Amino acid sequence: MSKTLVKRAFKYRFYPTDAQAAELSRTFGCVRLVYNKALEARAAAWTQNQRRITYGDTSAMLTAWKKTEELAFLGEVSSVPLQQTLRHLQSAFSHFFTRRARHPRFKSRKKSRASAEYTRSAFRWRDGRLVLAKMSEPLAIKWSRPLPEGAEPSTITVSRDSAGRWFVSILVETSVDHYLPTAGAVGIDAGLTTLVTLSTGEKVTNPRHERRDRQRLARAQRALARKQKGSANREKARRAVACVYARIADRRRDFLHKLSTRLVRENQTIVIEDLNVSGMLRGRQARAISDASWSQLRSMLEYKAAWYGRDVIAIDRWYPSSKICSACGTLTGSMPVSVRVWACRCGATHDRDVNAAKNILAAGLAVTACGDGVGPTRHEPVRQPSQPPYQG
């Protein structure tokens, strides 16, 4: 069985002491400040002089900031997270210049993720005990699963979510065993009522985690709205709302991990649609689409497939998978979303979603065999009646 050497991040919850929490909170604030000041300097240099500032320039700026009376407190925290945030800003601009991301935005104290990244020189790792720079005691980590045997952390990322929970993400390099090769191949059609429909005919119901907790969320939000701004009770109510959101996100992530792992384990080739999720989120069903989290599922499928020696193929988002007869290849005319079952003139009767999944699989296999831009043969479109002939 072949192996792949990969970098994996193992995330654990930990419970800091008061001194550790205070030190980390100061570090988070300094990281955010340095990022924003460097971003402001880069934006001003381009606006005023059409000059690009590099990571080296911002690193020199950071040294100068520490020497000023106003920003001398930057020298009280570990310098590594501050340098790392400048590297992250450089990466953000690199992605922007290559049109892979939007222009970097300023970090907000309330909305942005509070985190700090420590490289090998800024922490001590010995016998499963992790001590960060500027701290004397190890973090009290809840080891929910063991690290790979013999793994040595290369990067540590500490974060605090909006619900007040502390997490440490440990990046290690480890080998992953490939799954045994299989002849299985599956096409996946994403939906809302049914989260995914497989070309095998299986349908995975959408758990709708956000809808299940919507009443609890509404109560927490109403309680928050009644609290006076700036009061301690408002902060407690805000955290209660954040806890509901965290519960929803945790359950959704757990479900998607289990689903994606099963699909990757059972199939050698997985074919999906290249959906424009960001565009869909501007429509009327944005809340339901966000809850379905198709992008997160795709991301999980792709990196797990790379780990375990599987293939994920994304076909063109404009491919009319629902309108093509998977039996004879006839392309129908207009088909409203309300039509869930339809009959082709060849006599085949189709479940809309299962038929789409079969066509997605066929298109993906055609790409594998013949190259990109190739799809199954389609005949001329035929006009569908306003009511489906199949009434079940």
Q: Which pLDDT score is estimated for 128?
A: 87
> Is 380 assigned a catalytic role?
no
- Cα separation of 375 and 368, whole Å? 10
User: Residue 372 — very low, low, confident or very high, per pLDDT cuts 50/70/90?
Assistant: low
Would you list the DSSP string of 64-99?
Answer: HHHTSSTTGGGGGS-HHHHHHHHHHHHHHHHHHHTT
Chain length of the chain: 392
> Is 273 assigned a catalytic role?
yes
- Computed over every residue of the chain, the mean pLDDT equals 90
Q: What is the pLDDT of residues 15-29, one digit of tens each?
A: 999 999 999 999 999
β-sheet bridge partners, residue 129: 126
β-sheet bridge partners, residue 142: 13
Least confident of 54-63, 169-178, 257-266, 335-344: 335-344
Domain boundaries, the chain: 3-177, 185-315, 330-382
Q: What is the pLDDT of residues 239-252, one digit of tens each?
A: 999 999 999 999 99
> What percent of the chain stands above pLDDT 90?
73
Contact between 122 and 116 under an 8 Å Cβ cutoff? The reply is: no
Q: What is the pLDDT of residues 299-326, one digit of tens each?
A: 999 999 999 999 999 998 888 988 899 8
User: Residue 1 — very low, low, confident or very high, per pLDDT cuts 50/70/90?
Assistant: low
pLDDT of 31 above 70:
yes
Q: Which pLDDT score is estimated for 384?
A: 43
What phi and psi, each to the nearest 5 degrees, are found at residue 331? Answer: -95, 120
Selected catalytic residue, list 23, 117, 210, 353:
353
Q: Which pLDDT score is estimated for 102?
A: 92
Question: Which helix H or strand E contains 171, and what residues bound it?
Answer: strand 166-177
> Is 189 assigned a catalytic role?
yes
pLDDT of 392 above 80:
no
Selected catalytic residue, list 273, 274, 302, 380:
273
Q: Which pLDDT score is estimated for 266?
A: 94
| Helix (H/G/I), strand (E/B), else coil: 330 | strand
Selected catalytic residue, list 23, 117, 189, 210:
189
